[in-house]
Amino acid sequence: MTFNTWIIAVDNRIADLLAAAATVPGEVHVAVLGDRDLAEELARTDVADVLWFEPPAGSVVEEYAGQVAEAVAARKPDVVLTGPQDAARLIAGRLAAQLRTPLITSVQSIEADPPVATRLTVSGSVEQTVSASPLLAVLDSPGGAPEATDAAVTIDQIVLAPGTTISMVSAVPRAAGADLSTADRVVAVGRGLAAKTDLGLVRDLATALGAQVAGSLPLAEDLGWLDKDLCVGISGKQISPALYLAVGISGQMQHMAGVTRAQKVVAINNDPEALIFGKCDYGIVGDLYAVVPALVSALGEPRA
């Protein structure tokens, strides 16, 4: 049996969606909400064709979730895969309503024939396999930019009717933050750090590990010591690095929900009773100001 599989793309991060779609027999189509460059980039991937929705210049993409969903639903998909980006989730919600099918979230992988999704629930403590027809899945990690193929497939453009509810007032560019969602190693820092100027210590450790720096909500939002994009947890990013090292973080549920999919969790905390010691694989009970520099030098030592 073959299936009519669709990927919903709102940016170019679809490599893992493509890999998941490739496990399902049948053609894979991509619906793209974005500019021409994005549509052309995704046309040079391993898909049958591209359905391109271009938001009118200066408009707000969120407004077009309903129109994209309607057009995709009309093409009678059996399987729809998308990522966790805001616009993608909005389109997925509309598709659920259009197709009268459940929206399956926190999906880790897809298996075909018949299509089945493996998902995590209850903050990552339960893994379920579920099926539905059509199967509408939001994958936690859509992957990075796809590998380009030599030839481009055809692009069918669908003209969107201009939205009337949401209008752009201003868009102030800001430096694009590091993409934590694809980071292999992450060093996160919390309130255990006494001063913003001490961030250098944590950055040194991150450099020694080849890791990206992130933080708890207080550091990224309340104190503003880190970019808001770097917040890990239910209000920030849910990430899946191979190694997550938490420095001076107490381990509240709202934070830890962001790292349930990390392979190894390491904690450095001077409070032996800190919650995080019940939720990590390795820990050092001690003062981060002594332990972090010691770790940097230990990492520099050759393997025994």
Partner 1 sequence: MAVVVAFKWAPDPQDGRVADDGAIDWSGAATSAVGDDAVAVEVARQTAESLGQEAVGITLGRKNADWALARGADRVIAVDADLAGASDDLRAAVLAALARRVDGADTVIIGDSAVDSGAAVVPSLLAATLGRPGLLGATGVATDGTAITVERRTRDAVVTVKVDGPAVIAVAADAATPRVPGMRDVLMARKRPIETVELAELGVDAPGAELLTSRRTDSGRQAQLFDGADPQQAARQLVAALRSAEAV
Ligand X SMILES: Cc1cc2nc3c(=O)[nH]c(=O)nc-3n(C[C@H](O)[C@H](O)[C@H](O)COP(=O)(O)OP(=O)(O)OC[C@H]3O[C@@H](n4cnc5c(N)ncnc54)[C@H](O)[C@@H]3O)c2cc1C
Interface with ligand X (CB under 6 A)? 190-192, 216-218, 231-236, 248-250, 252, 254-255, 268-271, 274, 287-289
51 binds, among ligand X, partner 1, none (CB under 5 to 8 A by kind): none
Residues 102-141 that bind partner 1 (CB under 8 A): 102-106, 116-117, 119-132, 138, 140
Q: Please answer whether residues 119 and 86 qualify as being in contact, where contact means their C-beta atoms are separated by less than 8 angstroms.
A: no
Cα 118 to Cα 111: distance, rounded to the nearest angstrom: 8
Tell me if the bond preceding 134 is cis, omega within 30° of 0: yes
The residue (of 21 and 180) whose beta carbon lies closer to partner 1 is: 180
Cα 153 to Cα 145: distance, rounded to the nearest angstrom: 17
Is residue 194 a contact residue for partner 1 (CB under 8 A)? no
- Only one residue has tokens 């170019």, namely 12
Is residue 301 a contact residue for partner 1 (CB under 8 A)? yes
Cα 144 to Cα 83: distance, rounded to the nearest angstrom: 11
Least Å from the CB of residue 133 to ligand X? 34
Least Å from the CB of residue 16 to ligand X? 23
**Strand duo 116-121 + 103-111: pairing:** antiparallel
Least Å from the CB of residue 44 to partner 1? 22
57 binds, among partner 1, ligand X, none (CB under 5 to 8 A by kind): none
250 binds, among ligand X, partner 1, none (CB under 5 to 8 A by kind): ligand X
Region near partner 1 per CB under 8 A, out of 1-9, 30-38, 143-151, 164-172:
164-172
Q: Please answer whether residues 78 and 183 qualify as being in contact, where contact means their C-beta atoms are separated by less than 8 angstroms.
A: no
Query: For 89, what's the count of Cα atoms within 13 Å in the CB-facing half-sphere?
Result: 9
Region near partner 1 per CB under 8 A, out of 21-29, 33-41, 193-201, 253-261:
253-261
In 3D, which of 257, 47, 19, 4 has the Cα closest to residue 142?
A: 19
100 binds, among ligand X, partner 1, none (CB under 5 to 8 A by kind): partner 1
Least Å from the CB of residue 212 to ligand X? 16
- The token duo for 239 is 């990430």
Is residue 94 a contact residue for partner 1 (CB under 8 A)? yes
Is residue 303 a contact residue for partner 1 (CB under 8 A)? yes
Cα 168 to Cα 279: distance, rounded to the nearest angstrom: 43
Is residue 248 a contact residue for partner 1 (CB under 8 A)? no
What residue type is 168 in one-letter code?
A: M
15 binds, among partner 1, ligand X, none (CB under 5 to 8 A by kind): none
Is residue 66 a contact residue for partner 1 (CB under 8 A)? yes
153 by Cβ neighbours in 10 Å (0-12 / 13-18 / 19+) ranks as: middle
Least Å from the CB of residue 230 to partner 1? 12
The residue (of 149 and 162) whose beta carbon lies closer to partner 1 is: 162
Positive or negative torsion for Cα 12, 17, 23, 25: negative
Residues 206-235 that bind partner 1 (CB under 8 A): 209, 217, 221-222, 228-229, 234-235
Over the range 234-254, which residues count as b (16 or more CB within 10 Å of their CB) and which as e?
bebbbbbbebbbbbbbbbbee
Residues 13-52 that bind partner 1 (CB under 8 A): none
197 binds, among ligand X, partner 1, none (CB under 5 to 8 A by kind): none
